[in-house]
Structure formats: C-alpha cells, structure tokens
Structure 1
C-alpha cells in the first residue's frame, strides 16, 4: 500500500507543475485573444468614426441651415407674397415653406443626437405657432405688408426667435464632437 501512495506522490510531483503550467498558458492565451479582439474593435471604431464624422458634421450643418432658413425674418425675405393675398394666406405660405424645408432635411436626424433633433422639431413648431399667433393678432383688413412688419417687429431680439436656442444647442454638440477629434490628433 505504501508503494501505491509513494507512486501517487511521485506522479503528483510531475503532474501538478504541468497542470499549473498548462493553466498559466491558457490564461496568457485567453488574455492575448481578448487583447487582440479589443484591438480589432478599436480599429473598427476608429475607422467608423473617421468615415461617419464628415457625415455627422454635414448633417449638423444642414440642420443649422434649416434653422436659419426658418427664422421668421429670413422667411419674410424669401417667401414673396402674391398680389391680393391676405395675411392668413401668406401665413399658410410661410408655414408651407417651413414644412417643405423640414421634409427636405428629415433624414439628418439619423446623424444628430435625439436631443438635438427634438430641439429642431421644437424650434419648427414654435416658429409655426409664432407665425399663427402674430397673424391672429392682426386687425381685420390688415395687409400682408403689415403682417410682415409685425413679424419683423416681434423678432427684434434674436432670443425671441425659436431657432436661436436650437442653433446654440447644435453648435455645442458640434464643439463636443470636434474637441475629442482635435485632441486625438
């Protein structure tokens, strides 16, 4: 019986270090595989970022351009009234222009943050509400010219223009996107 125990001890003397060696090799290989996968992920992420950054910046530019174009003073300068048009009819033409601009830029939401897109929609809706409120406040028989003047007067302070806040927010997001890019170079 002593010989079986002695043989077992002798076998364990050789097997135990071999098992620890194999375990060590397995741990090193697992760590290396994990490191390689992370490196591949980082490479893909960097490549994706380099490819999507121009698209994202272009989307922010287009959305800011949209917000600039729907500012009431710009709308009044761009959308010419037709002869004999009433303020209510002109208001509908202004709103149609806003909606057309929005539909033209709707795909940009894919490239900007959800919060930014909500800000854009809010600016659009508030601008439409402002145009409606100014039109409803016009006296009976007012001309389109008077309506245009009322719009311009209402927008004397840029902070009264709904697009102002949304543009400010978008510029902040673009800065946050560009700062890490500048630091990476």
Structure 2
C-alpha cells in the first residue's frame, strides 16, 4: 500500500486534468465548426456581391450601348465611317473587358447581352449602308436614332431582364 501512495498525486492530477482536457477538446471542435460556418457564410455573401456587381456592370454596359448614348461619344469632326469604326471598337473593347461577368449572369441574360451588342453593331453598319456612305455624321446619327426607335427596343428589354434577375438573387 505504501507504493500506491507515491502515485496518489499523479492520480489526483489526472482526475483534475481529464475533465479539463474534455472541455478543451469540446471548445476547440465547437470553435472550428463555427469558423467553418462563418467561412461558408462569407463565401455565399461574397458570391452574392459578385453577382450583384456583375449585373450592375452589365446594366451599365447596356446603357452605354444605347444609340442615344453612343452618338455623344466622339468628336463631331469625324466622317460617318470613322465614327462607326471607333464606336464598334469601343463597344468591343468594353464588352471584352466585361466578358468575365458571364460567370455570374444566367446564360439567357448573357445571350441577350451578346445579341444586343451584335444588334447595335449591325444597326451601325446597316444605317451606313442605307446612306450609301454619302451622308455626313449628323445625318448618320439622326438616321441611326430613327432606325433604332423604329425597331424593337432590345436593349431596354435586356436591362429589364437583368433587373428582374437581380431581384430574384437579392
């Protein structure tokens, strides 16, 4: 029995340490679980913010694509064909810059954006061909606006679709 008394302080320390170690383990696992939930919540929030920013950027692109905004872009001293070239270049560059936004936008909305961009470029060329290349820039801009207003307002429809989708996401 005398030899057992030498282990008594160790047994006492072990009895006190075990509940402490169990509580510490529980605390660590709970802390890790809460941190994982926080990370998941932040990634969902971040993804939602990315989607919102994508819809905002593409709505801005669509607004800039409207012929009423395009005709104000460049110097009045240009010939109509120079205006078309610079406008088409600016549209393509801005579209290329925003191409990564398709990751966050639905396929149908992205397709509407691409179709709208292509329709504006087609409208530019069609308007120029109607004037047989013999119209000045002011006449070209007037005819461009008239042609756009006579047709389907695909840009406004695309913006409205984007607006409806962002309401669903938010």
- TM-score normalised to structure 2 length: 0.70
> Structure 1 residues 140 and 128, CA, compared in 2 at 3 Å: closer, same or farther?
closer
**Residues 158-178 of structure 1 deviation map (CA, whole Å, 9 limit, x = unaligned):** x73331221111111101112
From 70, 73, 81, the counterpart of 2:68? 73
Cα drift, residue 79 of structure 1: 2.5
From 155, 161, 168, give the equivalent of 1:169.
161
Q: How many residues end up aligned between the 2 structures?
A: 137
Aligned to 1:64: 59
CA RMSD of aligned residues (A): 2.4
Shift of 1:44: 6.3
**2: CA distance between counterparts of 1:109 and 1:134?**
30
For the Cα contact (< 8 Å) 1:55–1:111, is it kept in 2? yes
> 1:45–1:115: structure 2 CA closer, same or farther, 3 Å change rule?
farther
- Which structure would you say has the larger RCO, counting Cα contacts within 8 Å and 6 or more residues apart? 2
1:24-72: per-residue Cα shift (whole Å, max 9, x none)? xxxxxxxxxxxxxxxx998765443212111110110000000100111
Residue 166 of structure 2 corresponds to residue 142 of structure 1? no
1:51 aligns with 2:46: yes
1:110 aligns with 2:103: yes
Gap runs ≥5 in structure 1 = 1-39, 179-185
C-alpha contact (below 8 Å) 2:127/2:144 kept by paired residues: yes
Q: Distance in 1 between matches of 2:110 and 2:102?
A: 6
Name the TM-score, length of structure 1 as normaliser: 0.65
Match of 1:5 in 2: none
Contact 1:71 1:161 in 2 (8 A): no
Who is 1:23 aligned against?
none
Quote the offset at 1:123 in angstroms.
0.8
